[in-house]
Structure 1
Amino acid sequence: MLGRRTFFGALPACVYFDRSRMQNESAPTWWMLIVESAMDPIIAVDEAQRIVLFNPAAERAFRWSREAVIGQPLDRLIPERFRHVHRQHIERFGATGTTSRRMGALSALSALRANGEEFPIEASISQHVDSGAKFFTVILRDITERVRAEALLARSEAQLRGIVDSAMDAIITVDESQHIVMFNAAAEQMFGWPQSEAIGVPLATFIPQRFREAHSEHVRRFGETGVSSRRMGALRE
């Protein structure tokens, strides 16, 4: 019969050991090997929020050696302006009795490297009681590259919007159902529709009634060709 399991962590990874095997010397080695080899930083703190576990991935992310942080307050890894709120967050979580949950679900989280550099993270927290003592385990991920990529994409999209909005020609983009998703300033001037009202409207609204069916079919067939672009109405007088 399996003994009670104690969980160390939550998404994106879960580490546990079987308490019935704790008398076996290989049991601590077994779960510690998982923690030590994890690609994501794993940090455990006691009820006083002092660090009791700091795996190699955490050493790489925070640039602190394990020896330097074991026994130190978790605050050392958090930007000063967030420390009070973060401490309260863990205390409240401990009072809920909830096993695990994601941290910072409604806002971005920041951590602090040994050199004072802040970096963005996503994290989950879990709690467990062992021999009457409560522990909290945080599994986190450095999302610096993702945030940087998102910022570059946002800048690129902003630049594209600037180009589109400053174009002298009308530019209209529709989705697969041929409803308008982009309507630039030149299109506003040409059709006399404000962008706010044109977005979401069927493209057929801007096509004379007698041409609507043929135009819709033309767009549909073009979508099936896989061709990137071509002139419309090339054979029409």
Structure 2
Amino acid sequence: MKEIIRSPLFALLISILAYEIGILINKKTRIVFFNPLMIAIALVIGTLLALHIPLEDYQKGGDFIALFLTPATVILAVPLYKNINSLKKDYIAILGGVIVGAATAIFSVWAMAKAFGLSKELIASLVPKSITTPLGIELSTQIKGIPSVTVAAIIITGVVGAVFAEWLLKVCKITDKTAKGIAIGTSSHALGTTKAVDIGETEGAMSGLAIGLAGLVTVIVATILFKFGFF
């Protein structure tokens, strides 16, 4: 029995089942805080503790999933392709908004982390917080961060964006549909985009477009800063 629960296939199985349970709970409750990924993480941690499975053994199975994360980022080209006409029409405003938004996310993390005296490793882990998980994990690895911390930061950022995005847009009196979508997608990636889709079709499409663009900008800027020793 011990050999079974410590095998890579068992780790892979509980990961998939935990996420499926998370999706089911999210659909049944429709509560944004019950994010499938957060639920899956909690279930996996609980299972590992209950069955006394070492993290090293679980990681052997988790690596199978991680193997497909980077190639999966290719799917981000789909919203770019579908909204190519909108991008051509308002490319200056869209690209400008995404670049400024992504840069602000990076420098705000850097400034606050420096103010609180965080290590360079933690700063590098928090920098990718506003981009989608596959890109965030890969970027965190490249700039010597801690991928597990990055994943937690990405989830929290996405949930906060999904919960408060619509309210914040109203407070800031932003009414343009394209601007709403770009703002949400740039700041809170895929989780925020689920809220953008609820707000409207255009908002959802623009938010999906922003995910890929913001990820690209973040990777470029963060890599350059890492090369110059900022973190």
Q: What TM-score do you get using the length of structure 1 for normalisation? A: 0.21
Q: Which has the higher strand share?
A: 1
Q: Which has the higher helix share?
A: 2
> Larger Rg: 1 or 2?
1
Q: What TM-score do you get using the length of structure 2 for normalisation? A: 0.22
Instruction: Work out which structure has the larger RCO, using CA pairs closer than 8 Å and 6 or more positions apart in sequence.
Output: 2
